[in-house]
Amino acid sequence: MKALNLYGAHDIRLENMPEPEIQKDTNIKIKVTAVGICGSDIHRYDQLGPYVKGMTWGHEFAGEIAACGAAVKKYKVGQKVTACPALYCGECEACRKGKFAQCEKLSVIGAYCPGAFAQYIVMPQENVVLVPHTISDKEAALVEPACVALHGIYNAGGISAGDTVAVLGCGTVGGMALQWAKINGARRIIAIDIDNRRLAAAKELGADEVINVRQEIDIVSVLSELTAGRGVDIAIEAAGTPETSAQVLALPKKGGKVIYMGIPYHDVMIKRFYFEKIVRSELAIFGTWNAISGPFPGKEWSTCVDFLAKKILQTKPLIAVDLPLEQGPVAFEKAVKGEFAGKVIFTPWEKE
């Protein structure tokens, strides 16, 4: 089978690999029909390199069941599925409490075991999530980032009807976060980014106002003006940059919330002005990791599939391009250079 394997920073290779085989009777073999590039994939390609040299990576995917282990009774060949990519140990204190996102040995497919930038993947049956055929393959590949955004909102105690919400970073997770804010009754959503293409998508997805921080230099002053000096109820950091990780602290009202969904890959140096907001405004700060809860993989997954099936959660404005897997090396170079404003989806098989 064809697979994209990561050997080092800026070293990704399309290679022929043996098809994975079912090793446990609780495993399911999936024919991958769509798989997306995650922001973390771009950082790993650009800066970090692989956990294991030559590993097949990728973790946002959808597919069709190709084979089931002998003990699998809930699923059958031919069903459309996605899968939670997280792998937990089941033995640490967090796992025993059902806090799987806090597992001491939490891993993800594509790190130490093969991922989904391939034509086939084998997954534990408990990770597999059924998807109705009314959801397209490309939509189903975005279930995982939708779950990431929803998990973060759950972690922070939810969004209340009437809240004003600011979202910094309008990529896939940010775009999903603003939709969940709207679904949960937010009165006003302010989207902030540096790319007008992503801001246009945010507007299409329900943002009430958009701010381009390359045009509006002082984001704190601009947001203060928009909220009559009050600030927002909830500020969501979904860009994952050192700058936005600091700036987000100055956006909520007194007693407001900050939800961190992005992952900065450089040190975050916080100016006193931003840091003091935590204390002087008595902010509640929430970190969020992955997209899982108990019972595994969590209600995030069933909720996201349900809202996609009902066409309430939208994906089209978030998808930039649909490419064959063979274009992976070129696509990653373009992604690093910022040539795509949205999600890149690979289709490992030729379209019929």
Q: Which tens digit of pLDDT belongs to each residue from 190-234?
A: 999 999 999 999 999 999 999 999 876 789 999 999 999 999 999
Q: Which residue has the tokens 């946002």?
A: 60
Residue 57 near residue 36, CB atoms below 8 Å: no
Per-residue pLDDT of the chain (352 residues; tens, 9 = 90+): 999 999 999 999 999 999 999 999 999 999 999 999 999 999 999 999 999 999 999 999 999 999 999 999 999 999 999 999 999 999 999 999 999 999 999 999 999 999 999 999 999 999 999 999 999 999 999 999 999 999 999 999 999 999 999 999 999 999 999 999 999 999 999 999 999 999 999 999 999 999 999 876 789 999 999 999 999 999 999 999 999 999 999 999 999 999 999 999 899 999 999 999 999 999 999 999 999 999 999 999 999 999 999 999 999 999 999 999 999 999 999 999 999 999 999 999 986 5
**For the residues of 23-43, what is the DSSP string, one character each?**
-STTEEEEEEEEEEPPHHHHH
Name the pairing type of β-strands 11-16 and 2-8.
antiparallel
Same topology, domains 2-146+291-347 and 157-287? Answer is no
On the 0-12 / 13-18 / 19+ scale of CB atoms within 10 A, 21 is exposed
Where in the chain are the domains?
Answer: 2-146+291-347, 157-287
pLDDT for res 82: 98
pLDDT for res 351: 67
Region 157-287: CATH code: 3.40.50.720
Residue 98, Cβ neighbours under 10 Å: how many?
A: 13
pLDDT for res 111: 97
3-state secondary structure of 339: coil
CATH 3.90.180.10 given to domain 2-146+291-347: yes
